[in-house]
Chain A
Amino acid sequence: MTAYKAAVEHEPVMPPRIEVGGVSRSDRYTADQRTESMSATKISVEHLDFFYGKQQALFDNTIDYYKNRVTAIIGPSGCGKSTHIRIFNRIFELYRDQKARGRVLLDGKDLLSTEMDVLEVRRRVGMIFQKPSPFPMSVFDNIAYGLRLHYRIDRAELRNRVEQALRRAALWDEVKDKLNEPGNALSGGQQQRLCIARAIASEPEVVLMDEPCSAIDPIATGKIEDLIEQLKREYTIVLVTHNMQQAARVSDYTAFFHLGRIVEYGETARIFSNPREKQTEDYITGRFG
């Protein structure tokens, strides 16, 4: 308890060993990491709790997200997946009764603390939402939004970066003649890729994706999954998905959430072939959720 309290009061302390299923968690991390070369930690979550008013939704989440990797978060509906990632860009702060407790370290600095400006956090951590949400402006202006927001930038450079972003999002060829058309004149899949291009245009370090494909058709989904594969070379990606096949296809690491807790976390290949927790196995094999 004291270690937990200390963590909440922002004192540096070693994460306690939590016994789950007879094997302590820090043991499991080491076990997995031995199988691949050390990847730096981009986001380190320590004892994160979350509340909607009086109701607690996340319980003691502790997890590391590795740089330039795709981490998938899976779990049944209502298990807290979206809630979890919405903490990383502090978007929950828009709502008065939502509160987070704990530490979330972005490159070592706690992004929940007052020492990090929320505008800065949101520039470094981008988010793609479930429903494609282009702004009510042209395609060009959509992509340029973040650039104009955070930078003083001349027109030539702006056009340059917009094109780069669209190319990186694999959308350039499809919209290069339509840059002045309204954003929502595009198809659903294109709109979502537009949102991705928009998010990466201002060079974030982390891209959060909250079920990005659930509102679009399978072909567009495939394109976006390919995109994620490419994007991870430059960004750290956290992908919330209810589609397990997608998680298996696309991610390097997978975390399984249930009822606001992280039940199991490890390399995707291992999680899906050899889960350690019974709950994980039940979920993956479809016995619930």
Chain B
Amino acid sequence: MNPLQAVAHRRVRRRDAGPASRPARPLAAGQDAAFRWFTVACAATVVALMGALASVFALEAWPSIKEFGLSFLWSTEWDTQNDRYGGAVQLWGTAASTVIAIVIAVPIALLVALLLVELVRPAVGKVVGMAIEMLAAIPSIIYGMWGLFVLVPLMQRYVQPAIQATPLGKLPLFVGPPYGIGVLTAGLILSLMILPFVTAVSRDVLRMVPQVVKEAGFGMGATTWEVTRKVSLRYGLGGIVGAFFLGLGRAVGETMAVAYVIGGSHLFSWSITDPGYTIASNIANEFPEAAGDLHRASLVELGLILFAATILFQLIAQLWLRRVRKRVGGRA
């Protein structure tokens, strides 16, 4: 079972209290207890690790938190000479690229999921489904390679000049020379990266709508889209929202693909055609050779913000996805 699917939803039903754990012989009792404690220890490692991660981040980030306080969030400074740092550029870059990715990927993913569930033969749907799962396995760095060497030249030579030529090019969101690299390109790559994932989860959610309910919808003389919109999507709304947040979580933390195409600039710019930085790509580029403790601490502080955001999205996603397993009533 694809770990992604396992995260997204659990097809297995929880068993109710299984067989008692009292063994037959006293010797075995000791063995069983030891085994049980061993597995508890392994499971506890997960919790311990999480705690360790959180504490280490907080500890390492502390010098920066103490030094800059709340202004870290809106300061655009990044001066390694004078040791003054602020995270606004990275926060903006992360937010903007993620929003672009979501806006592009989620509608497409929903439509493709609809297609797979309603519009194609089951055999075709299975093959395409498998293809999607394999595509979701492609590492970030491959997307980065393609992004830098194939997409960026295209953006530079055709797409960005085209945008500049339209009235859109006057908006502060789009002004600037056509670098090719930048926040927009990063957003496009990210949308490609989260597309297979969100599609797979949405498809699984749509599949869970009971056939009877769909037949009842069709039986009343509705078109496929009408049944999907009014019945299936409503039924699986929790799952779709969950998929949305999972995609969000993934896009926010993507590192290498973004590092390739974002351009690595600390200059703040509202324009998404300008280069910039995301939290993850900034850490990747500067952390190994950080120029001093405060520099490193600031990077970790950025990491801490990313950590908190990811946890938040994951928790929200899990909450919503749990609801999918419960029958959806009018409260969806």
List chain A positions with a Cβ less than 8 A from chain B: 89, 91, 94, 96, 118-123, 126-127, 129-131, 133, 135-139, 141, 145-146, 149-150, 180-185, 195, 198-199, 202
Please tell me if B212 contacts chain A, counting CB pairs below 8 Å: yes
Q: Within the assembled complex, what's the spacing in Å between the Cα atoms of A202 and B219?
A: 12
Q: Is the CB of B234 within 8 A of A129?
A: no
Q: Is the CB of B215 within 8 A of A129?
A: yes
Stretch at the interface among B82-90, B221-229, B267-275: B221-229
Q: Is the CB of A127 within 8 A of B328?
A: no
Which of A121, A145, A150 is within 8 Å of B230, CB to CB? A145
Please tell me if B210 contacts chain A, counting CB pairs below 8 Å: yes
Which of B220, B231, B235, B329 is within 8 Å of A146, CB to CB? B220
Please tell me if B115 contacts chain A, counting CB pairs below 8 Å: no
Q: Within the assembled complex, what's the spacing in Å between the Cα atoms of A180 and B329?
A: 11
Residue of B217, B219, B231 with highest tally of chain A CB at under 10 A: B219
Which of B213, B221, B327, B331 is within 8 Å of A121, CB to CB? B221
Q: Within the assembled complex, what's the spacing in Å between the Cα atoms of A269 and B219?
A: 32
Q: Which residue of A lies closest to B327 (CB)?
A: A184
Q: Which residue of B lies closest to A130 (CB)?
A: B212
Q: Is the CB of B329 within 8 A of A185?
A: yes
Q: Which residue of B lies closest to A131 (CB)?
A: B212
Q: Is the CB of B329 within 8 A of A123?
A: no
Residues B215-255 near A (CB distance < 8 A): 215-223, 226, 230-231, 234-235
**Cβ–Cβ < 8 Å partners of A184 in chain B:** 327, 329
Q: Is the CB of A96 within 8 A of B231?
A: no
**Cβ–Cβ < 8 Å partners of A199 in chain B:** 220
**Cβ–Cβ < 8 Å partners of B222 in chain A:** 119, 122, 149
Write the nearest CB–CB distance from A107 to chain B, whole angstroms: 17
Q: Is the CB of B213 within 8 A of A135?
A: yes
Please tell me if B330 contacts chain A, counting CB pairs below 8 Å: yes
8 closest Cβ pairs, A-B complex: A182-B329, A182-B330, A122-B221, A138-B330, A123-B221, A127-B219, A133-B212, A119-B221
Q: Is the CB of A146 within 8 A of B234?
A: no
Q: Within the assembled complex, what's the spacing in Å between the Cα atoms of A139 and B329?
A: 10
**Cβ–Cβ < 8 Å partners of A129 in chain B:** 212, 215-216, 219
Write the nearest CB–CB distance from A138 to chain B, whole angstroms: 4
**Extra inter-chain contacts (10) besides given A130-B212, A136-B330, A182-B331, CB under 8 Å:** A89-B219, A91-B218, A122-B221, A137-B234, A149-B220, A149-B226, A182-B329, A182-B330, A185-B330, A202-B221
Q: Is the CB of A133 within 8 A of B210?
A: yes
List chain B positions with a Cβ less than 8 A from chain A: 121, 210, 212-213, 215-223, 226, 230-231, 234-235, 327-332
A-B residue pairs in contact (CB < 8 Å), sample of 24: A89-B219, A96-B121, A119-B222, A122-B218, A126-B220, A129-B215, A130-B212, A133-B210, A133-B212, A133-B213, A133-B215, A135-B216, A135-B230, A135-B234, A136-B231, A145-B220, A145-B230, A146-B221, A149-B220, A180-B330, A181-B330, A182-B331, A195-B216, A198-B220
Write the nearest CB–CB distance from A91 to chain B, whole angstroms: 5
Which of A96, A122, A137 is within 8 Å of B219, CB to CB? A122
Write the nearest CB–CB distance from A169 to chain B, whole angstroms: 15
**Cβ–Cβ < 8 Å partners of A135 in chain B:** 213, 216-217, 230-231, 234
Q: Within the assembled complex, what's the spacing in Å between the Cα atoms of A255 and B294?
A: 87
**Cβ–Cβ < 8 Å partners of B223 in chain A:** 119
**Cβ–Cβ < 8 Å partners of A202 in chain B:** 220-221
**Cβ–Cβ < 8 Å partners of A181 in chain B:** 329-330
Q: Is the CB of A122 within 8 A of B234?
A: no
Q: Within the assembled complex, what's the spacing in Å between the Cα atoms of A122 and B219?
A: 6
Residue of B121, B222, B328 with highest tally of chain A CB at under 10 A: B222
Q: Within the assembled complex, what's the spacing in Å between the Cα atoms of A71 and B105?
A: 52
Q: Within the assembled complex, what's the spacing in Å between the Cα atoms of A115 and B285?
A: 66
Q: Which residue of B lies closest to A139 (CB)?
A: B330
Q: Within the assembled complex, what's the spacing in Å between the Cα atoms of A127 and B217?
A: 10
Q: Within the assembled complex, what's the spacing in Å between the Cα atoms of A183 and B329?
A: 7
Q: Within the assembled complex, what's the spacing in Å between the Cα atoms of A129 and B218?
A: 12
**Cβ–Cβ < 8 Å partners of B331 in chain A:** 182
Q: Within the assembled complex, what's the spacing in Å between the Cα atoms of A255 and B272?
A: 71
Given contacts A183-B330, A184-B329, contact A136 B221 (CB under 8 A): no
Q: Within the assembled complex, what's the spacing in Å between the Cα atoms of A152 and B326?
A: 34
Q: Within the assembled complex, what's the spacing in Å between the Cα atoms of A201 and B42?
A: 59
**Cβ–Cβ < 8 Å partners of A185 in chain B:** 329-330
Q: Is the CB of A94 within 8 A of B330?
A: no
Q: Is the CB of A136 within 8 A of B234?
A: yes
**Cβ–Cβ < 8 Å partners of B234 in chain A:** 135-137
Write the nearest CB–CB distance from B182 to chain A, whole angstroms: 42
Q: Is the CB of A150 within 8 A of B231?
A: no
Write the nearest CB–CB distance from A271 to chain B, whole angstroms: 29
Q: Is the CB of A126 within 8 A of B219?
A: yes
